[in-house]
Amino acid sequence: MNGAAGRWLREHLVLMLGLLVLVYTFVPIAVVVLMSFNAPRGRNAVYQFNGFTLDNWLNPCADADLCSALGVSIRVGLLATVVATALGTLAAFALVRHDFAGRSASNVLIFLPMAAPEIVMGSSLLALFVSAGFAGQLGFWTILIAHVMFCLSFVVVTVRSRLAGMDDTLEQAAMDLYATPLQTFLRVTLPLVFPGILGAALLSFSLSFDDFIVTNLNSGSTVTFPMFVYGAAQRGVPMQVNVIGTLMFVVSIVIVVASELNNRRRSRALT
């Protein structure tokens, strides 16, 4: 290749390919958004676009099972997030700020759930519940236990990296400026680690909300949103599922863009 065009192409080839991959990741999302406006033809298993309607958006709970599953997922998600974020944050502080025998063993223990396949985690938890005689009591609480378990590691890792990246002379400076240990924690440490904790909480919620494999094994007769979708996929999917999918996408984009704009605003003020 030669000439300006050739050079331009060579310069931007990788970027073009990268953008192409990016576009590919958005194709299914486009379909989800499109299908959220789809007028279904009866409740058939054929999943295709029949015509435009706003019905799905106006009546997202037309299928009562969908909304009750959604409710379960939100409740599990919120509870699992609170518990996992609390326990995980404490553990992250212990691992970064404290020294004790068994610290590296604990680090390994934290790492393992992230590396184990979900089907194995789910089935071993089920094996425990069954052998402990809880086979009949599977439901909301066993789902919650499972979700906290697999969210925990992600919380620890997220908060830990934020903590480790924090300059500890800031805390020394606070102490030097007459702040007691408690004041130092509340006024310096916590505000600085907070973005990490918030990020960990968001991650926990989305992990919990999205989980199918572990949940499916330990849910008994309780149905979460992903389980509802999975079940519906066999029978015929109510189009409202796509409304939920679109909403999830939009909400998360708004959160991310808002925080990004916030960062931009701060860094622009720099000059």
Partner 1 sequence: MSDTERRRGKVGYLLLLPAVLWLGLFFVVPFYSLLATSLFDQSGSDFRGYEMDYAFGNYVDVLRDYWQPLVRSLLYGAIATAICLVLGYVLAYAIAFKAGRWKNLMLVLVIAPFFTSFLIRTLSWKLILSDDGFIVNVLQAVHLLGDDGRLLATPVAVVAGLTYNFLPFMVLPLFASIDKIDHRLIEASGDLYAHPVVGFFKVTWPLSLPGVVSGTLLTFIPAVGDYINAQLLGSTNQRVIGSVIESQFTDANNYPVAAALSMVLMALIVVMVLVYVRRAGTEELL
Partner 2 sequence: MSLLAEAPDQVADDTPYDGLRLRSVTKAFASFTAVDGLDLDVPRGSFFALLGPSGCGKTTTLRMVAGLETPTSGSITLAGQDITYAKPYRRPVNTVFQSYALFPHLDIFENVAFGLRRRRSADVKTQVHEMLELVELTSQARKKPAQLSGGQQQRVALARALINKPEVLLLDEPLGALDLKLRRSMQIEIKRIQTEVGLTFVHVTHDQEEAMTMADTVAVMNKGLIEQMGAPAELYENPRSTFVANFLGQSNLIEGAVLSRSADVTTVDMQGISVSVPTGRTHTDDAAGWVGIRPEKVLIGEEGEALDAPGNTIPGGVVSDVSFVGVSTQYLVRMPWGQELQVFEQNTGRRRRFAPGERVELSWRPEYAFLLDRSQDAGAGAVAGVLA
Structure tokens at 38: 């789809």
180 is a site residue for partner 2 (CB under 8 A): yes
- Rounded to the nearest 10 degrees, the angle between the axes of helix 190-210 and helix 140-164 is 140
Residues 172-201 that bind partner 1 (CB under 8 A): 172
Q: How far is CA 243 from CA 24, 34, 35, 171, in A?
A: 21, 9, 8, 47
Question: Would you give the binding string for partner 2 spanning residues 200-239, x where CB under 8 A is met?
Answer: ----------------------------------------
97 is a site residue for partner 1 (CB under 8 A): yes
Give the residue, chosen from 79, 116, 149, 179, that forms a contact with partner 2 under the rule CB under 8 A: 179
Give the residue, chosen from 173, 190, 253, 258, that forms a contact with partner 1 under the rule CB under 8 A: 253
Residues 145-174 that bind partner 2 (CB under 8 A): 167, 169-170, 172-174
198 is a site residue for partner 2 (CB under 8 A): no
269 is a site residue for partner 2 (CB under 8 A): yes
* Residue (of 247, 217, 209, 198) closest to 76 by Cα position: 209
247, amino acid identity: L
260, amino acid identity: E
70 is a site residue for partner 1 (CB under 8 A): no
Give the interface segment with partner 1, choosing from 51-59, 60-68, 182-190, 249-257 (CB under 8 A).
Answer: 249-257
Question: Would you give the binding string for partner 1 spanning residues 18-37, x where CB under 8 A is met?
Answer: xx-xx-xxxxxx-xx--x--
Q: How far is CA 100 from CA 94, 118, 157, in A?
A: 9, 31, 19
Residue with tokens 């970027």: 15
For partner 1, the closer of residues 37 and 225 by Cβ is 225
232, amino acid identity: A
Three-state SS at 38:
strand
- Rounded to the nearest 10°, the torsion over CA 177, 182, 186, 189 is 70
Give the residue, chosen from 39, 54, 59, 168, that forms a contact with partner 1 under the rule CB under 8 A: 168
Task: Give the integer Cα–Cα distance in Å for 41 and 239.
Answer: 10
Give the residue, chosen from 39, 71, 194, 260, that forms a contact with partner 1 under the rule CB under 8 A: 260
183 is a site residue for partner 2 (CB under 8 A): yes
